Structure 1
Amino acid sequence: MDEAPSAMIFAAGFGTRMRPLTDTRPKPLIEVAGRPLLDHALSCVSDFGARAVVNAHYKSQMIAAHLADTPVTVITEAPEVLDTGGGLRNARAQLGSDPVFTMNSDVVWAGPNPLNILAEGWRDNMEALLLLVPVERTVGYTRSGNFSIGNGGQLQRDTSGMVYTGAQLLRTDRLDAITQDIFSLNVLWDQMLAGGAAYGVTYPGHWADVGTPDGIKLAETMLQEHGDV
């Protein structure tokens, strides 16, 4: 990778589970511990030394205004939101051709910078490296697991396994062959899983899913108990 890798932060969703707070602002601008969720993610990117690209759709003007005096590139998706895979492909010109970090903007970390963990675990034979966390080190997460890590670190879909944290490092070449305009990153992952090129690594800290209003207090309590990134 180049000395200044790129990181895509997904911030285009509608935040329906966060209503009524998202009636007046996009979810990435809802505050946790005195900072917008988006700023928690951007701190990880800037501390790592990467350049940030943020996509926006719902109340995109508010996100653009929030980032107006920063070096962050904002890409507005219109007229439709493109989902994670479509949003990543839409941003490729700004992200470059090297492997790209991606992060969700509705999570909070307590522990080491997740981008450091991904960079340390990356190998040339990988097409994707997903950051996972055991369920017992999550807060605010009420669904089943997503993946497990098999022999040699290869990723396996497993609903009884660990939770995908929303952070990963991946190659974007396969995006060119996907015909849909709007699609999830799951489409890309399925191709990589089939080829044995998707891997996982475990996050050693704690992780909060801030998807609902109740999740805000849970995340703040986690930060008080375990510390911020």
Structure 2
Amino acid sequence: MQAVVLAAGEGTRLRPLTEEKPKGMVEVAGKPILTHCFEQLADLGADELYVVVGYRKEAIIEYYGDEFEGVPITYSHQREQLGLAHALLTVEEHIDDDFMLMLGDNVFRANLADVVNRQRETRADAAFLVEEVPYEEASRYGVCDTNQYGEIVEVVEKPEDPPSNLVMTGFYTFTPAIFHACHLVQPSNRGEFEISDAVDLLLASGRTIDAIRMDGWRTDIGYPEDREKAEERLIEERGEVVDGPGETEDEDAETTASEES
């Protein structure tokens, strides 16, 4: 399956970490955020990676080159950061079948395979990994309303009065039908072409979108403290020790080395 990673953002809220590098190159537990994304997509069976770049794109292109662990990479340039639907359209010419979409500022340790399997099994028009959050936090995200069958019936971007506490996490599968919807999206009040509006257009046309509840965790790296939170979570996973910002080593290997000496 093809995979698209959106990594064009400037990451202004992550400053000073992003003053000289794009958000996707900020390190979490010794690896750029994008490396975490690429590793998981490769594990999910991605046979092609399409990476949408923008701000300081050269840093990403020079670091990864034209492949990641044997998976070819094609870069697409979003010249203006005008929203996720706008970013997705930059890869339209390359996508010819169902594909995975991941936002390149998230670190996941979750059931992403369930989303991919649902897409393959049911031939849904889309499947989203969704997370249940406290109602008071839901207004910070794209909020999903679902029916009794677990299908999404509406997506609202950062609503004042959320219809539910299920939010989009930044991992999706789509058919190419999403591109037609993105072409029809009009700028939001923020002046951006929102992916949530494209999703609503899919729903209005009778398409089916399944919601898969997250089992595990994910951290959206929006602020410096989010990076710290993700690193703390990774430390809790056996075998990872973080010595300092951007530095990690394997705990078991360290123990073994000390025993041998």
TM-score normalised by the chain length of structure 1? 0.84
Structure 1 residues 130 and 27, CA gap change in structure 2 (3 angstroms): same
Task: From 111, 132, 145, give the equivalent of 1:134.
Answer: 132
What secondary structure, in the 3-state scheme, does the structure 2 residue paired with 1:121 have?
A: helix
| 1:126-165 mapped onto 2 (5 Å cutoff) | 126-135=124-133, 143=140, 146-155=143-152, 156-157=154-155, 159=162, 160-165=164-169
Equivalent position amino acid for 1:87 in 2: A
Structure 1 residues 148 and 104, CA gap change in structure 2 (3 angstroms): same
Equivalent position amino acid for 1:73 in 2: T
Once residues 100 and 66 of structure 2 are traced to their aligned partners in structure 1, the CA distance between those partners, rounded to angstroms, is 23
Q: CA-to-partner distance for each residue in 1:39-71, whole Å, 9 max, x for gaps?
A: 000001111221211010100111111111522
What secondary structure, in the 3-state scheme, does the structure 2 residue paired with 1:23 have?
A: coil
Give yes or no for contact 2:178–2:199 (8 Å, CA) kept in 1. no
Percent identity over the alignment is: 28
TM-score normalised by the chain length of structure 2? 0.75
Q: CA-to-partner distance for each residue in 1:111-158, whole Å, 9 max, x for gaps?
A: 44x1x111222254521211112227xxx9993571244211211447
Structure 1 residues 28 and 227, CA gap change in structure 2 (3 angstroms): farther
Partner of 1:30: 26
Total equivalences in the alignment? 217
Which protein has the bigger strand share?
2
Q: What are the ranges of 5 or more consecutive residues in structure 2 without an aligned counterpart?
A: 157-161, 187-191, 240-261
Kindly name which structure, 1 or 2, has the bigger radius of gyration based on alpha carbons: 2
Runs of 4+ in 1 over 6 A off after TM superposition: none
Larger RCO, structures 1/2 (Cα 8 Å, 6+ apart): 1
Structure 1 residues 144 and 184, CA gap change in structure 2 (3 angstroms): closer
Is 1:217 the counterpart of 2:215? The answer is no
Partner of 2:109: 110
Partner of 1:56: 53
Give yes or no for contact 1:135–1:145 (8 Å, CA) kept in 2. no
Is 1:192 the counterpart of 2:188? The answer is no
Please give the root-mean-square deviation of Cα atoms over the aligned residues, in Å: 2.6
Equivalent position amino acid for 1:41 in 2: C
Equivalent position amino acid for 2:132 in 1: P
Once residues 123 and 233 of structure 2 are traced to their aligned partners in structure 1, the CA distance between those partners, rounded to angstroms, is 35
What secondary structure, in the 3-state scheme, does the structure 1 residue paired with 2:84 have?
A: helix
Once residues 141 and 180 of structure 2 are traced to their aligned partners in structure 1, the CA distance between those partners, rounded to angstroms, is 31
Partner of 1:68: 65
Structure 1 residues 119 and 191, CA gap change in structure 2 (3 angstroms): same
Structure 1 residues 152 and 223, CA gap change in structure 2 (3 angstroms): same
Once residues 144 and 83 of structure 1 are traced to their aligned partners in structure 2, the CA distance between those partners, rounded to angstroms, is 14
Once residues 21 and 33 of structure 1 are traced to their aligned partners in structure 2, the CA distance between those partners, rounded to angstroms, is 14
Give yes or no for contact 2:185–2:194 (8 Å, CA) kept in 1. no
Give yes or no for contact 2:118–2:124 (8 Å, CA) kept in 1. no
What secondary structure, in the 3-state scheme, does the structure 2 residue paired with 1:207 have?
A: strand
Partner of 1:39: 35
Is 1:100 the counterpart of 2:96? The answer is no
Give the superposition deviation at 1:188: 1.4
